[in-house]
Amino acid sequence: MAWVMERQAVTTHKASGIVNDANDWAIETMGNPRYPLELLQRVIIVSLETMSIVRGLPELDI
């Protein structure tokens, strides 16, 4: 889950000085300070659902 927060962090490229701010180009973040938390919650839900689906799959015969 750390990668979600890493992707939302404002960073500056050392060599070029270019600032990368997800809030500048992601429409769904504009005016929504809760977006990072909501994104993290969605990732958690998808991860839990994926685990449930994988557990329900039959064993592979290799």
The mean pLDDT of 11-16, rounded to a whole number, is 92
Nearby residues of 12 by Cβ (< 8 Å), 6 or more positions away: 18, 19, 20
* 31 vs 46 pLDDT, higher one: 46
Shortest CA distance to 33 belongs to which of 42, 43, 22?
22
Q: Tell whether the model's pLDDT for residue 1 goes beyond 70.
A: no
Q: What is the pLDDT of residues 36-54, one digit of tens each?
A: 788 889 989 999 999 999 9
pTM to 2 decimal places: 0.59
Residues 23, 27, 29, 37, Cα dihedral to 10°: -120
Q: Residue 34's pLDDT is what?
A: 84
Q: What is the pLDDT of residues 51-60, one digit of tens each?
A: 999 999 999 8
